[in-house]
Structure 1
Amino acid sequence: MIDRSQLQTVLESDFLERSFPVFNSPGIKDEDVMIHSLGCSVWNTLGHELGFMAVVEGPAPIASGNDIRSDSVWFDKADNTPLVLIEFERYDGTDRGYGKLEEKLGNLMEASMRWGDQPTLLVLSAWSPGLVSAPDFERLELMFRRGFSNSKGAKIPAPTNCQLLLHRLVLSESHTGLLQLQRMNFRWS
């Protein structure tokens, strides 16, 4: 079981500065998928620090439909139970950007179902390059609570015994033109 207060406390501590100082200084160039790679590394490293076996691009068991790989999956070391599924995605404030967040939440929910509803926490972590309009968190939470139909038309139910963390990183441009961490927000459901 994941201790949500511990997860948030570690992220709000000096964890990023200690493990990934590039988020603060000198900053990150927004090109190709570098920020995505760093974000996945942050979540995996955090999983290890919290005592889990964290795996990058962890595939959910195959079912009819598409291959689903979560950016990070945290397993219990004692019994290999997948307890946390994480997606890290860019959000630019546009409708298209919001659609990507819905798609990623859908992937998390379907992966949870394929894992037999064993995960106890789904994390949708979105990063923004500068200040953009906030995602509609209430709409994402509603999708999480009600379930949805995937691209093949299959009904994906709401996960059972599972929480949702909507996490947001806002990166702002420094005087050097590199992006640096400005703030983090946490919304638990």
Structure 2
Amino acid sequence: MNKDKIIDFIKKEFKEGNIRNEMFPMMTKFGVRDYSETIHTVGLNYITAIGRFVDGVTSLSECPVFPYNVENNYGEMVAESQASYGNKDDEVRPDSIWYSKVDNSPILICEFERYEKNRRKDLKIKEKIQNLLLAYYQLGGNVPIILFVYWSYAGENPGDIGEYISILDNGFKKNDGTYVQGINALKTTYLVYRCVASGNIDNLTLNQWVEVG
């Protein structure tokens, strides 16, 4: 698995949109209604689809990741027994996870989330990034790529989310006081993108994916 090649493939696809155009014409041509979780569903399935175009990778949407005890083999995708799961309150479900077809090791975890500049949405973005970090360690702390994408309307300025992205570097403290450390930057690279939704609530195209930072 070549991490840099996968990152280059993701960046090229987000910029040029060949997979979007071919497989998701509602994103580039017909438009999508902003109703319930429609945008979220389209976005996360698109990201999962990108993984299926990468040699040696299989990708899943909304795959639950359970906490493991330190005695368990973090390389295993599924724990051996219910007792292995640890505290189910910490279960997270990343929007997309990519795995190696060679050894089933996780290659990428992703969250795709709407962002508007208000306190409720700020907390949602913060929660999603914390979930990425939890999933990162629950998968063994050796995931090469973390991808976070937030979407917003073209005419809206969602503001700077650097404070929340820094959680990936600095870690965070859980409600029970447990500290979750940041990623290992020697092993892991994170990408942050904004998906710009153009049009109106009844018809949005999602054809502009801009790297942030």
TM-score strictly above 0.5: yes
Q: How does 1:168-179 map to 2 (within 5 A)?
A: 168-173=194-199, 177-179=202-204
Residues of 1 paired with 2:171 and 2:66: CA distance? Answer: 19
Per-residue CA deviations over 1:16-51 (Å, capped at 9, x if unaligned) read: 111111112220000011111111110110011113
Task: Give the counterpart of 2:112 among 80, 88, 96.
Answer: 88
Name the counterpart of 1:187: 212
Residues of 1 paired with 2:36 and 2:193: CA distance? Answer: 22
Gaps of 5+ in 2: 68-85
Does residue 133 of structure 2 align to residue 129 of structure 1? no
2:206 is matched by which residue type in structure 1? L
Preserved contact between residue 171 and residue 180 of structure 1 (Cα < 8 Å): yes
1:37/1:162 CA distance change after superposition, 3 Å: same
Structure 2 SS opposite 1:25: helix
Q: TM-score, normalised by structure 1?
A: 0.90
Q: How does 1:16-95 map to 2 (within 5 A)?
A: 16-51=20-55, 52-62=57-67, 63-64=86-87, 65-95=89-119
Name the counterpart of 1:10: 13
Question: How many residues in Structure 1 have an aligned counterpart in Structure 2?
Answer: 187
Preserved contact between residue 98 and residue 135 of structure 1 (Cα < 8 Å): no
The Cα shift of 1:187 comes to: 3.0
Runs of 4+ in structure 1 displaced over 6 angstroms? none
Q: Percent identity?
A: 23
Residues of 2 paired with 1:15 and 1:178: CA distance? Answer: 20
1:4 is matched by which residue type in structure 2? I
Q: TM-score, normalised by structure 2?
A: 0.81
Q: What value does the CA root-mean-square deviation take over the aligned residues?
A: 1.8
Gaps of 5+ in 1: none
Per-residue CA deviations over 1:45-82 (Å, capped at 9, x if unaligned) read: 00111131101112223243421111110001100001
Does residue 171 of structure 2 align to residue 144 of structure 1? no
Task: Give the counterpart of 1:158 among 165, 176, 182.
Answer: 182
